[in-house]
Structure 1
């Protein structure tokens, strides 16, 4: 199984979860929330071939970590992927939206400058602005829209821009999440956990729980869980190839 968006470093007993994810999963993408967190996590965790650790600057803390932007732009030159980055236009974070825009625009521009990177992208209530940055820098690489929550028309536009979509078990908890998952291009969907933040039944989703995505997708895609799992596995391998991981 694979997990294309997980905050492995933020679980309680993170080292144990990290080792178990490496044992159970063929691939786990550990996204960090800030450049300094990436540096610290990279030092603290033993490098393992099945775990990719990437630098990011989460939009929810962009205003607190804006001074780390230059460090992130330096780090981007030495990695194959970047995340978590993006924009959040929800009421709680709207006051800092212009700071987010500055940071995300600089990240996308830097990715284009260094030949393209794969990005794990947060786009809550900000899909149009995210896509606008992609249009300004068409050689930025590949976007994986994490836990996409936009409208159906925004989903269609994101797909037209070549975006991929990572979805986790928690997405199936809402009718809107199920409707979006059903409408996503079947050949560009990969599993994620978004643990420990994403929860199902009050418990944090674990990296190896991403396998439950096939069970959630099966009735929406009119297929069996095994067939859905095969589609996700093919998609995951294709995305890893784009990322230069395989």
Structure 2
């Protein structure tokens, strides 16, 4: 089996030189799932770029984007019944400047229901909202749910594991003592790699696609997995075949 690198959570549209990075990712043959934060941005990306074997775009509705309206969510629902990937979506109760808690819960419940029904992959952002998310995921169990940059408790982690969730890990997470201990508790067959570029750094530099190999080396070394690249690629393939 030819093993290739996979980045399950990347924000192409946040880079000024996104056209150049689009070309580089394809040249490097790195499977990359590009997140968006709203239906409008998703549509702009799809119009600007053709999806390739290595680059796919996910339809997003980010809970921290307080400018998003009910009209935007109506647009999201229409697109969600056609999209192949969903993200970045989720709930974030860490600030009262985000979308209201009640709306976030309602939106997330509908998103998870659609993803479970259509069996499509979703990348989920959770902050101070893990308990509510767990109850929703229990009600509408999705088979292809990736928890992005998990920051909850060990108990919440175990519940999400029991619900079949995958977890995308970036190199910045292993530098945080509390987060790194939790990473060790994730079953190896439920781990994926994300960069969350441009919101992370590798060796003090803002993440770029050419640094993904270094991302793998750092996480693999921390987990003490010599066959880390094979493990992640295998998990990625298994997730898509569910």
Note whether the superposition's TM-score is higher than 0.5: yes
In the other structure, the counterpart of 1:35 is: 39
* 1:86-119 deviation line (CA, Å, top 9, x unaligned): 0112135467222221211121122234x32211
In the other structure, the counterpart of 2:126 is: 123
CA contact (8 A) 1:169 1:210 kept: no
Matched residue count: 237
Unmatched segments (≥5 aa) in structure 2:
none
| Residue 172 (1) aligns with residue 156 (2) | no
Change (3 A) 1:48 1:218: closer
In the other structure, the counterpart of 1:6 is: 10
| Residue 158 (1) aligns with residue 149 (2) | no
CA contact (8 A) 1:25 1:208 kept: no
Distance 1:233 1:28 in 2: 12
CA contact (8 A) 2:64 2:98 kept: no
CA contact (8 A) 1:9 1:18 kept: no
| Range that drifts further, 102-111 or 206-215 | 206-215
Deviating above 6 A after TM superposition, structure 1's stretches of 4 or more consecutive aligned residues are none
Unmatched segments (≥5 aa) in structure 1:
none
TM-score between the two structures when normalised by the length of structure 2: 0.90
In the other structure, the counterpart of 1:112 is: 116
Change (3 A) 1:111 1:230: closer
Higher share of residues assigned helix: 1
Residue 121 of structure 2 aligns to a residue in which SS?
strand
Distance 1:187 1:93 in 2: 37
In the other structure, the counterpart of 1:205 is: 207
Residue from 133, 136, 141 that aligns with 1:133:
136
CA contact (8 A) 1:168 1:210 kept: no
Distance 1:47 1:212 in 2: 25
Residue 193 of structure 1 aligns to a residue in which SS?
coil
Residue 70 of structure 1 aligns to a residue in which SS?
helix
